[in-house]
A and B are shown apart, each in its own frame.
Chain A
Amino acid sequence: MSDTPKIEEHSVPALVRGVRMHFDKTREEWVLLAPERMLKLDGIAVEILKRVDGTKDLGAIADDLCTTFEADRSQVLNDCGAFLQQLVDRRMVAI
C-alpha cells in the first residue's frame, strides 16, 4: 500500500529544492525543471505554480485564482489539487 502524502485544502505546497520554473526563451514556453525531468507548463499550470510559494495553502491559492479569473471555487480547488498531487507523486512538490 502506498503512503503517498495527499494534498488537502490546508496543505502548504512548495517546490522541492532542485525543482524550479524556467521560461524557455528559445521555444517561448514555461517549463518546470527537475533532476532529469522537464515538464511543459500550460497557462493554467503557470498560474498555479506562480502562487506556490511555500507559505500559501491550497485553499488560499484557489481563492487567489478564483478572484483573478472569476472562476467557480470548488472547481478550481479540485483542478489545482489534482495538478499539485501529480507533482507531489513525482516528488517535485512537497506538502
Chain B
Amino acid sequence: MNTHQVPPPHSLLAELTHRCPLQCPYCYNPLELTKKSGELATDDWKRVLSEAAEIGVIHAHFSGGEPTSRSDITDLVAHARSAGLYTNLITSGVLMNEGRLDALLDAGLDHLQLSIQDCDSESADRFGGYKGGHDKKMALAHEVRARGAALTLNAVIHRQNAENVERIIELAVELDAGRLEVAHTQYYGWGLKNRAALIPTRDQLDRSTELVAQARERLKGQLVIDYVVPDYYARFPKPCMNGWGRVGICISPSGKALPCHAAETITNMQFDNVRDMSLIDIWQNSKAFQAYRGLDWMEEPCRSCDRREIDWGGCRCQAFAITGRAEATDPACEKSPMHDNLSEIAEAESAQAPPPFEYRKIGTY
C-alpha cells in the first residue's frame, strides 16, 4: 500500500495505565502488565493527544487499567478537549468522588463510560475482586446524571452473569444512562486465561441476544444498546477494529502504538513507541500497522471472499490465539478450517463446572 494514501485514524485509545483497583478476570489487558515506573509522562501524553487531533483523530478514549489512577487525568482531558477532541473516560468509577467528577466535567469531559460487573453488589464485587465497588459505581452513576452529563454503562457478560442481562438493562434504565454496552467477554489476555470459567453456553448467548433485541425496540429513544457477541459461536468473524490500521490507534501505558488494544497478545509482533516516533509516522509507516492493513495481506479463503471488506478478515489476535498464526483466517469464520474447534471449545468448556478465577494482577506474569 502507498503510505501516502493511508486515510487518517478517527479514534485514539489512550491506555494511560495498567494500574487498577479492580481485578476482573476477563480483562483484555496483556498478562504482563506495565508498572507505574514504565508509564508515559504527562507531557508525552499531551504531545500524543495534540498530534492525534492534528492528524484527524475525532474521539479520544481514556482507558487503562483505571485511567483515574493517574493524578493527571483531569489535565489530560482538558488538553485533549482544547485540542478539539471528543473526550470519553472509560472508568471503573471506584476512585472517583464528587470533586474529581466536577473537575473532569469542568475540564470538558464529553462522556463517561462506567463499567459494571453485574446488577447486584455481591456478585459484582466478586467478579471485580473489589469489595464495595458496585455501590461506589451506583453512587457515581447518580452523580453523573444529577449533573446532566452523558453516561454509558458497560457490562461484560459471561456464563456467571448471563442470566442477569434483563436486570442489567433495567439497571441502565433506572440509572438513566443514555447508552448501555452489553458486551460478551472477548477471549484475549486475562479473558483467555479464564475462558473456562467465563464462556457462556449457547443457550445463554441466544437468550441474551433475544433480550437485547427486545429491549432495543422497547427502549428506542431512551436507551441506546450496543451488543457484542462472543464469536466462538458465530458464523462470521467480527469486523475487528473495523479493519486493522484503518480507523483506530491504541497507545499502551508505556507508549507502544498498537493497531488493536489486544495486539500485544500477538507475541511475535514488534511495536513502535511514541517516545521515538511521531503519531503520523507510526500510523503510516509502522510495520505493525502495515502488517494487516487493507486486503493485500490476506490468504485464502479471505482473499477472494465477498465479505472481505465487511469483516476485514476478522480478528488477528484471535487468529493468533487459536491457530498460532496471526495471518490465518479468524477461526470465528465458518470458512476457516479451524472453525469447528472454536465451537467445540466453547461447548466443552461451558458444560463443565467453572474453575476458580485467576484474578488480574500486576506482576503475576
A residues with a Cβ closer than 8 A to B are 1-2, 4-5, 16-20, 22, 24-27, 31, 33-36, 38, 88-91
Contact = CB atoms under 8 A, between A and B. Distances in A.
B58 A24 contact: yes
Given A17-B150, A38-B10, A22 B220 contact: no
Question: Interface residues of A: mostly helix, strand, loop or mixed?
Answer: loop
Interface in B43-78: 55-56, 58-59
Contact of A36 (B8, B88, B218, B223): B88
A16 B224 CA distance: 13
B220 A89 contact: yes
Contacts, number: 67
23 contacts: A1-B218, A2-B221, A4-B221, A4-B222, A5-B221, A16-B150, A17-B148, A18-B111, A18-B149, A18-B178, A20-B86, A22-B86, A24-B58, A26-B55, A27-B8, A27-B56, A34-B150, A35-B110, A35-B113, A35-B152, A35-B179, A91-B222, A91-B224
A22 B84 contact: yes
> Contact residue range for chain B?
20 to 34
B86 A91 contact: no
Contact of B86 (A5, A17, A33): A33
Contacts of A89: 220-221
A31 B349 CA distance: 45
Contacts of A88: 221
A20 B110 contact: yes
Contacts of A16: 150, 178
Among A19, A20, A34, A38, the one with the most B-chain Cβ atoms within 10 Å of its Cβ is A34
A36 B226 contact: yes
A40 to B, nearest CB: 11
Contacts of B222: 4, 91
Given A17-B150, A91-B223, A35 B178 contact: yes
B217 interface: yes
A2 B220 contact: yes
A91 B149 CA distance: 13
A31 B86 CA distance: 11
Nearest to A88: B221
Given A18-B111, A22-B84, A89-B220, A33 B56 contact: no
